[in-house]
Structure 1
Amino acid sequence: MKRLPPFEAATKFVQTNFPTCQGALLAGSVTRGEETSTSDLDIVIFDSHVPSSYRQSLIECEWPIEVFVHNLHSYQHFFQEDYKRARPCMQRMVAEGLVLKDEGVLAAIKKEAVEMLEKGPERWSPQTIIMKRYFLTDALDDFIGSEKREEDICIANTLAELIHEFVLRTNGQWIGASKWIIRSLRQFNPIFATQYIQAFDAFYQQGEKQLIVVLVDEILEPYGGKLFQGFSIGK
């Protein structure tokens, strides 16, 4: 059985399951034209009758659906939590979401989301940058010294996370997780994102470490380079 198009399926889902809600949005990859064969429908619901936020996964209208349900105030907690961790998942869904239903509540909520996205995350303090320099240095030294392929892979994964975080946060940008790591890097600096991909691709395919070593050295250099001697926490 051929399934309904995304917007039509999402509208039907809201009408059936949340008929009294004040607002609903369709978000995620299907709204950006980036869906794959495994994509789901991300649907955000705003319903004043819901006592607290919840998330649910289900299959309806031949689609896997992730529904994020909030009342007219509880979503703000998630905005703040995403702001603190510098990963604006909720803000992006709301800002980019296509309106499925609106009884006059969505304009203000979307405005909040857009303003937070444009503002960016809280800037790292000099002390935080020092700490992050040390952690990057420590991971890189482990990577250079490791002689076991299975350990190399795990350390490289750690470096991939740390590098993306350092570059984006020191430049006042939002970070990502999973596929949003490279998406966030591309949004900030496509040239660096390509360099990042090439460095890790060379390691994963040929075991070549040097491009990752150079990458770390380059991003740390403006902040004083690698850091080990004299680093302390809690002294």
Structure 2
Amino acid sequence: MQPLEAAKRFIADKFPNCQAAVMAGSVVRGEHTATSDLDIVVFDDKVESAYRESFIEYGWPIEVFVHNFTSYKDFFKADCERARPSLPRMVSEGIIIIDSGVVCAIKDEANDLLKTGPVMWDKDTLATRRYMLTDVLDDLIGSTNRAEELFIANTLAVKIHEFVLRTNGKWVGDSKWVVRALNQFDEDFARRFVQAFDVFYKTGAKDEVIELADEVLKLYGGRLFEGYSMGKGDRI
């Protein structure tokens, strides 16, 4: 069964009294793979609290995200605070399956949030993120244990992507969305980011990763260790 037809059948069978539903995810973007599922956001004023549930129906794995008209606002806010707008993005890109006249307003909310971007880091947060990125970079530089290096590099990749995007007022990603978020911001940087870590994982060579991290940090004062303090206050 085609994705949209499966989604419509699913909503008719499982949520016949909901006010609205949209289908989102990789299928909508034309990026689906053999293991992709159907992501469906349901709006139902009868549910007491938000929940998520998984099904296999009509030949598809289906992930459903069920909200009432208060809970989705809470999730929008939480997603924006962590700078990963999962639910706003699903609603924004979603294809309408059923609508009682509420979806357009919710889509407008999602679109406004996505356009605004996350709150910029303040001076103290920026210093802390520089320090944390420096700490992981130093761990990678100094490590001689290949097994440990694999996971240090993984942490470093996440922190570099986060630092670049947050300092530029952009949303961050998780898992496959790390590269997608970087591509949306700067395709050239995303290419060099992937290449640096690809070389490291294939050969163990760290130079490109180190250069990339230093390039990112340089715009904000470079590596930070000496003089960094957190929570000290005005102690006597």
The normalised TM-score by structure 1 is 0.98
1:85-164 map, 5 Å: 85-164=82-161
Residue type of the alignment partner of 2:198: D
Residue 118 of structure 2 aligns to a residue whose secondary structure is coil
Give unmatched runs, 5+ long, in structure 2.
none
1:55-94 map, 5 Å: 55-94=52-91
Deviation at 1:223, TM superposition (A): 0.5
RMSD: 0.6
Give unmatched runs, 5+ long, in structure 1.
none
Q: 1:10 corresponds to which residue?
A: 7
Residue 223 of structure 1 aligns to a residue whose secondary structure is coil
What is the aligned counterpart of 2:163 among 166, 185, 189? Answer: 166
Distance 2:69 2:125 in 1: 35
Q: 1:214 corresponds to which residue?
A: 211
How many residues get paired? 232
Say if 2:51 is the partner of 1:54: yes
What is the aligned counterpart of 1:231 among 212, 228, 232? Answer: 228
Say if 2:60 is the partner of 1:35: no
Calculate percent identity across the aligned residue pairs. Answer: 56
Query: 1:63-120 CA deviation, whole Å, 9 max, x = no partner?
Result: 1000000112210010000011000000000000000000101010000000000000
Residue type of the alignment partner of 1:166: F
Residue 52 of structure 1 aligns to a residue whose secondary structure is coil
Deviation at 1:138, TM superposition (A): 0.9
Q: 2:190 corresponds to which residue?
A: 193
Distance 2:200 2:71 in 1: 44
Residue type of the alignment partner of 1:65: I
Deviation at 1:233, TM superposition (A): 1.0
Q: 2:175 corresponds to which residue?
A: 178
The normalised TM-score by structure 2 is 0.97
Distance 2:113 2:97 in 1: 23
Q: 1:19 corresponds to which residue?
A: 16
Residue 204 of structure 1 aligns to a residue whose secondary structure is helix
Distance 2:44 2:222 in 1: 51
Residue 234 of structure 1 aligns to a residue whose secondary structure is coil
Between stretches 44-53 and 187-196, larger displacement belongs to: 44-53
Residue type of the alignment partner of 2:143: S
